[in-house]
Chains A and B, each alone.
Chain A
Amino acid sequence: MTRVLPAGDHGALIECDDNAAALRLAAALRARCGFVDVVPGHRTVLVTWAGERPPLDVDDAAFETQPGKLVEVPVRYDGPDLADVALLSGVDDLVALHTAAEYTVAFVGFVPGFAYLLGGDERLVVPRLDTPRERVPAGSVAVAGPYSAVYPRDSPGGWRLLGTTELVLFDAESDPPALLEPGDRVRFVAC
């Protein structure tokens, strides 16, 4: 079931059952005219418009969407938190576990191009650091809660760092500027 909540006089926040439903709805609404932004969250879709409110029939059961593109992320698993995450999760071969799953970009936020990836093994659900690092280097591959992610740029951050990739996640000169868009699929490959 979906529920439409107000988000100001030019926006609405639509609650969905789960992330897959939110991604389906976001793709369907994005294909229509009249919205300025269509922003999936973990279990929501935020829409905004400029003039009159476009129709918001949000019964997503009927929506069929194409699977997103598959992106392979080569990772050097040399992160400073590997040992801690192994301890917290009780898993010996973290690399095997982290590279086994196919992830989905649930939504993007925090900084441009920062994709929140769902679909990882449940044993890899670990809490954030008690004290965030002041600087996490660009390309850091990290986990926190149910998510995996790659830091697109140097930034502060409280996620646990498993490794590093050379991939460029965000480039303002590219179109689209973000490598990973909501709904895309991701595989981590050890290198």
Chain B
Amino acid sequence: MLTVLRAGPLLTVQDAGRPGLAHLGVPPSGAADLLSYDAANALVGNEPGAACLEATLAGPALRFDPPALVAVAGAEADARLDGEPLPLGEAREGALLELGRCRVGIRAYVAVRGGIDVEPVLRSCSHDLLTGLGPPPLRDGDVVRIGQRSSNRCQTPGRCLTPLGETLTVVPGPRTDWFGSLLDTEWRVSPASNRIGIRLEGPPLERLRRDELLSEGVVTGSVQVPPSGQPILLGPDHPTTGGYPVVAVVRGDDLPLAGQLAPGTTVCFSLG
């Protein structure tokens, strides 16, 4: 059993999400930084796809009863297990996990051996910020069960800390020819960003075509451009169709970096 002593700004349960339902309007959802999420699960010997906690901006304080094998991956934040420092990417057994403010990156993943045991909705335990599907964000005092399924040996994944490049590689399109170049600008990450989308601020992107776009399907990582010319980088909880043209899409390998973009930092796009 896990008790949330302090949830922090936003603490949600996440797994690999709900792919395959986009044609019914259901967002993919899932961990915003899948690389760190996978790493956290591997460290405690969970099956891939086990549910973890995603802490945003600042970490939670959690009590495990009985003590459990836990690991933290993703954003760099001071973690203490029973008062002793718990380095990022190390799994240890303990009863009290305290995670501080995220210093580099904004999302830390807490994995517990056995996984977080909550009722799946549409085969996923992920909280979806857009639709509210899945378990609601955790609050102070919430109690959550720990699962039993963990037959795997603990592994040390290749890398735990997400490297924070401020350059994301993109594939141009589908609507590149509607705009001037996305690549020449340093964009500022707006504080009005979340799991649905990251708002980018900078000189408005020049629009070369004035046609109105008929709604079309969009993917996570799409750089969507509303009439203001200030792009929105779509996160995992994005609406499945949109009427704003998409100038480019972030490559899959760089999506975990997008999931760690901190408000106030800058980001550039390159063709890789």
Q: List the interface of chain A (C-beta within 8 A of B).
A: 5-11, 13, 26, 30, 36-46, 48, 107-114, 116, 170, 172, 176-178, 181-182
Contact = CB atoms under 8 A, between A and B. Distances in A.
Given A8-B249, A41-B215, A45-B217, A111 B19 contact: no
Contacts of A111: 25, 130-131, 239
Nearest to B240: A109
Contacts of B122: 172, 177
A181 B121 contact: no
Contact of A46 (B171, B218, B250): B218
A43 B241 CA distance: 12
Nearest to A36: B19
B214 to A, nearest CB: 4
Contact of B26 (A11, A30, A41, A177): A177
B88 interface: no
A6 B172 contact: yes
B157 interface: no
Contacts of A36: 19-20
B172 A41 contact: no
A8 B171 contact: yes
B214 A112 contact: no
A113 B122 CA distance: 13
Nearest to B214: A42
- Identify the interface centre among B20, B174, B246, B251: most chain A CB within 10 Å of its CB: B174
Chain B, interface size: which category?
35 or more
A36 B35 CA distance: 19
Contact of B215 (A9, A112, A116): A116
Contact of A108 (B23, B175, B218, B246): B23
B252 interface: yes
B23 A112 contact: no
A177 B173 contact: no
Contacts of A6: 171-174, 249
Interface string B12-42: 0000000111111110100000000000000
Contacts of A109: 25, 215, 217, 239-242
Interface in B210-259: 214-219, 221-222, 239-242, 246, 249-252
A7 B174 CA distance: 6
B219 A26 contact: no
A8 B272 CA distance: 13
A9 to B, nearest CB: 5
A107 B22 CA distance: 10
Contacts of A11: 219, 249
A58 B211 CA distance: 25
Nearest to B26: A112
Contact of B25 (A26, A42, A48, A178): A178
Contacts of A172: 121-122, 133
A46 B216 contact: yes
